[in-house]
A and B are shown apart, each in its own frame.
Chain A
Amino acid sequence: MSVASVRQEPRTGNFWRVFFVGGLISYRALFYWISPWQYIPTLLAAPLFQILFFVYLGRSVGVGSTNFFVVGNSIQVCSMSGIYGMTMALSNERFFQTLSPILATPANRISIFLGRGLPVVVTGIQTTAFGFLVSAFLLGFRPAPSELPALALTVLITAASCTGFGMALGSIGLRVRDVWVTANIAYFAMLLLCGVEVPLRRLPGALQALAHFLPLTHGIAAARLLASGHNVAAAWPDIGGECVVGVAWATAGFLLFRYFEGQGRRSGAFDRL
């Protein structure tokens, strides 16, 4: 019996079932922070204290406004879910030795890959929304009500863009030994490089150029424009830039995923640790 006779033609219904149901199941199985005991300290308390820490640092050195740090950090914390969540969703399959069975199925690879991103995007949006909410209560953050829908759209796109970046890191985790160190370095480096804590113009030219290829940079710039009362037309270039960056990273992640899948098939070592 040939492989081709076993493989069924993909159907649209199957694609969406794997995308939604498969994505949700993998999130429940592999997203380590889903329990309230993990979720509250990691995705609510830590971001809250991060926002407070940098707001007070800004006040102590006399740089930026409270809103500069509130917007930068509230948007940045969505990358926690995007980067770590996607790393868990992809590379934990290898860690738990479940990668081979998944890659033995005829399921559409795009639906497997992208389906894992959807719950992570939702979690990222929740974290950012919580950051804005507590900043409104504790730090007097008040964006213009008319710009809230555009701000919400920016948060959605930035969370998706960070998830795209996380997909690339997670795919690397299918091969490298300790992807967590890479993910952590990426996460903390983005604090410095993406204009979260330091105005971009203060960075050396090479780092400024690098920042434009990273998620968050354009999203944060757009959110700062909207929060400071500019209309959505002024923020569109940055919103578009964030979209492009996110799609590019997700594509790179998918190509890496397929490359490592092919390599694993050839060498018979999907789960090699």
Chain B
Amino acid sequence: MTALPRPLSEPLFRAGPAPLGWPRMVLSGWWYQLKMQAQSGFTVLVALIQPLIFASIAMADQQAGNRTLPLLYYALGAGIMGIWSTVVFGCGGALNWQRHQGMLEPLVIAPAPFVLVLLGITLGTASVGLYAMAATLLWGWLVFGAHLHFANLPAFALAVVATVVALGLLGLVLGSSFVLYRNSNALSNALEYPVWLVCGLLVPLSLLPGWTHPLAYVLAPTWGVEALRAAAIGGNPWLPLLWCGVASIAYLGLGVVLVRNVERLSRIHATLTFQ
């Protein structure tokens, strides 16, 4: 008779990692996702090439036009557009992608809270969008001669982190909502432009109809881009940063509820692997 690999006094399965292990788990998921996304051609497209094209369009139009917001305004907006694209495609389809890969069942039955697994994925995906931010700033400086002067550099760095976290948490909401929709990629296609428009990423909110403003206020990209612009161009970045934080907490709460609901329904109906 061979010896048991572990003493019987130790539980075979734990109900979940200790609270101190949770950050480590999210961090591992984040790092793994970041490495995986860096290998994907689609990520290169969405996070690098597409934002550069949109930044070029906006800056070329700015130079041709007769109203002069600084080029940095458009470079930052195009950067956030890139982050949103990675979030809406990467996080929107995150659960469906795990299902497609045959990983959804193992992840759900693992002792670790599933919401933390998904959180690592969505934060990692949003972080990939930082490529877009760096790329559009460099592109604006090298090709269009944008003046890269940051009025408040620490606030700018903080705004970048807060925006990525907020969009990652919004990704958690999207991922757990889109799982109910079989054609999540089509929904992602349809959600790119409206959010770019409504959140004022390239077009000032004041030009949009008033009924769109409440929509803008509940979406984190609005506050993220406002904080970044205030920190870079000048203004008070702290109020938009505060709203970014409030939105993040709200998304986290909503995301937890939605993910638990998906888990519960899939256990009841035994439909985890079906679309």
CB distance from B66 to the nearest CB of A (A): 4
A61 to B66, CA, bound (A): 6
Knowing A50-B193, A53-B193, A60-B67, the reply to whether A41 touches B183 (Cβ < 8 A) is: yes
Is the pair A57, B45 in contact by a Cβ cutoff of 8 Å? no
A53 to B201, CA, bound (A): 10
Chain B residue contacts of A180, Cβ below 8 A? 41-42
Chain B residue contacts of A59, Cβ below 8 A? 203, 207
Q: Is B194 an interface residue (CB 8 A)?
A: yes
Is the pair B190, A49 in contact by a Cβ cutoff of 8 Å? yes
In the complex, per-residue mask of B80-100: 1 if CB is within 8 Å of any chain A CB, else 0 = 000000000000000000000
Chain A positions 153-200 with a Cβ under 8 Å from a chain B Cβ = 178, 180-181, 184-185, 188-189, 191-192, 197-199
A39 to B147, CA, bound (A): 42
In the complex, per-residue mask of A44-60: 1 if CB is within 8 Å of any chain B CB, else 0 = 01100110110011111
Chain A positions 17-58 with a Cβ under 8 Å from a chain B Cβ = 33, 35, 37-38, 40-42, 45-46, 49-50, 52-53, 56-58
Q: Which residue of B lies closest to A184 (CB)?
A: B45
Interface size class on chain B is 35 or more
| Residue from A52, A62, A203 within 8 A of B193 (CB atoms) | A52
Extra inter-chain contacts (4) besides given A41-B186, A60-B69, CB under 8 Å: A38-B186, A60-B204, A61-B69, A192-B53
8 A-B pairs with the lowest CB-CB distances in the bound complex, closest first: A49-B193, A61-B65, A41-B190, A63-B65, A45-B190, A62-B66, A62-B65, A41-B186
Q: Is B263 an interface residue (CB 8 A)?
A: no
Q: Is B180 an interface residue (CB 8 A)?
A: no
Is the pair A181, B45 in contact by a Cβ cutoff of 8 Å? yes
Q: Which of A49, A185, A189 has the most CB of B within 10 A?
A: A49
A59 to B204, CA, bound (A): 10
Q: Is A202 an interface residue (CB 8 A)?
A: yes
Is the pair A37, B183 in contact by a Cβ cutoff of 8 Å? yes
Is the pair B182, A202 in contact by a Cβ cutoff of 8 Å? no
CB distance from A144 to the nearest CB of B (A): 26
Is the pair B189, A41 in contact by a Cβ cutoff of 8 Å? yes
Residues of chain A at the chain B interface (Cβ within 8 Å): 33, 35, 37-38, 40-42, 45-46, 49-50, 52-53, 56-64, 178, 180-181, 184-185, 188-189, 191-192, 197-199, 202-203
CB distance from A31 to the nearest CB of B (A): 13
Chain A residue contacts of B42, Cβ below 8 A? 180-181, 184
CB distance from A134 to the nearest CB of B (A): 13
Is the pair B57, A191 in contact by a Cβ cutoff of 8 Å? yes
Chain A residue contacts of B127, Cβ below 8 A? none
CB distance from B74 to the nearest CB of A (A): 9
Chain B residue contacts of A189, Cβ below 8 A? 53
| Residue from B61, B66, B182 within 8 A of A198 (CB atoms) | B61
A203 to B143, CA, bound (A): 12
Q: Which of A35, A38, A188 has the most CB of B within 10 A?
A: A188
Q: Which residue of B lies closest to A201 (CB)?
A: B64
